[in-house]
Structure 1
């Protein structure tokens, strides 16, 4: 597995003061700093963000964990279940069976792979402004390769599950910042998961944008989660306006 390389000065940006709001529609956070922040790079999640959700994660979690363990873990973790970290604590034979189940769900998902509405337009906008774009997913490299091939939109770096540590650890995002020679507070993480994408971005010190198409994260059980997004949008189409109005996009 490749090792994440960090710029020491990036550690200075593991936290930075910002306040935020979260609603089903695009929400704009307020900041104690009146200076418009500069944005030089955007990092995307893949499943459910760049691609239409096709994997039934609840069914997958139940099959891997069993109904009782699934219910117990869900009760303790309102923002979502980190199935990969649970599997890592199991013995080798149990891990192998779990990964076989996950791989089967992922293969079925690849057969129905569709690009998310607004993704192509957003990537074209980023290219026009010379803003770098990367990808971090907990899916496998073959899924990333298929996305690149099928839709002709390339992300670099594109870090899959084979890269360790994976989200919600900030390591993958800090690795991309290091590769781009950018500070984390010049980068935005966009994804549809509070527990993976938003947590990864906040821990790295990046801006975060939650894609919440249905408004599910406005439910009361998510009010007390540790990591909340700086911005929330209901579609990728809203991100262009968000970037234009809230950030300095000059090269």
Structure 2
């Protein structure tokens, strides 16, 4: 099914908007009738894996210290470096991409799965319920392949940034929904980025769950954000009970 048609269908099947609580207080959304959930799509870096890339250093290396500070001040929710460099000249883009890839390659050497009661346990629970598992990352395909090989936990489809357009555009999530033959409002997007993962899920019409292990999104910088997740958790272990409490998980 074309992405444009699926996007139209997702608008027609949007779930009710959650209550407008402050972001730091969003932990669950209670409904009288549980919604059927047929798939969960995960971000990779910082969600399924322990964060290993120093993004601040990477952005400074690409942008320069002064420009980094200026853009960071204008965008407190985070810098979208991939979209930012798309407007640069071909030579500038090449140099920027080389720098980004260098940071990512070094990150691959330190790739670690989320600790106990995290990714492996949650994926096992989803498998027991016959809930599909997908993955969307802005990292490269090599990183996804390494994750599959090293941890023996498979996601399908697993879309890296070679799939265009990438998050926060809803296209990759809509592609997964089309592949699974499910509606976006039967899927949840789980990730640690408000601007990438939650935005992608919301734009597609899916449920969204923000992973915030260190309380980053409790800061004043995010007190008045327009974009709010349906759920907010401090660990992947909390997603297990969240799903059982709020959704119909029958296959």
User: Do the two structures share a fold, i.e. TM-score over 0.5?
Assistant: yes
Contact 1:46 1:135 in 2 (8 A): yes
Distance in 2, Cα, partners of 1:6 & 1:150 = 37
Candidates 99, 102, 123, aligned match of 1:101: 99
Cα deviation, 1:187-228, whole Å, max 9, x if unaligned, reads 000000001001101111111101100001000111122211
Match of 2:73 in 1: 75
| SS of structure 2 residue aligned to 1:19 | coil
**Structure 1: unaligned runs, 5 residues or longer:** none
Query: Normalising by the residue count of structure 1, what TM-score does the alignment of the two structures yield?
Result: 0.93
Distance in 2, Cα, partners of 1:167 & 1:178 = 17
Q: How many residues align?
A: 246
Contact 1:191 1:211 in 2 (8 A): yes
Give yes or no for the alignment of 1:243 onto 2:238: no
Match of 2:63 in 1: 65
Contact 1:4 1:164 in 2 (8 A): no
Extract structure 1 runs of 4+ deviating beyond 2 A.
3-24
Query: Normalising by the residue count of structure 2, what TM-score does the alignment of the two structures yield?
Result: 0.93
Distance in 2, Cα, partners of 1:166 & 1:222 = 23
Task: Quote the offset at 1:17 in angstroms.
Answer: 2.4
Contact 1:6 1:175 in 2 (8 A): no
| SS of structure 1 residue aligned to 2:190 | strand
* Structure 1, 70-79 or 101-110: larger mean CA deviation: 70-79
**Structure 2: unaligned runs, 5 residues or longer:** none
